[in-house]
Amino acid sequence: MGAWAGDVAMKVYSTVEAAKRAGISRITLHRWLAKGVIRPAIGIVMKGQTLWRWTDADVKRARLLKGSFKPGPKGPMKPKVGAK
């Protein structure tokens, strides 16, 4: 898929494709989007939802972010409701 920037066509990727290229899961990339950690350059609003399109520069930023987070649970675990 391509997008136009002035007179030059640039390659853009879906969120799934961008995650693969960055070496992370699509779920991780969706989490980062939800938390506002990263935003791609192109967002297209369609039927009340945003369709994200990722450029090579966006994928590069995601790849750099990949090593900046520690895996696993974040903070103390909350007890389940109704647990004794």
Range of the domain at 44: 2-64
Question: Does a structural domain hold residue 39?
Answer: yes
Question: Does a structural domain hold residue 78?
Answer: no
Question: Does a structural domain hold residue 21?
Answer: yes
Question: Does a structural domain hold residue 60?
Answer: yes
Sign for the CA dihedral angle at 55, 24, 34, 45 comes to positive
pLDDT tens sequence across 44-80: 999 999 999 999 999 999 999 987 877 777 666 555 5
Q: What is the domain count for the chain?
A: 1
Q: What is the pTM of this model?
A: 0.70
Q: What are phi and psi of 62, to 5 degrees?
A: -65, -40
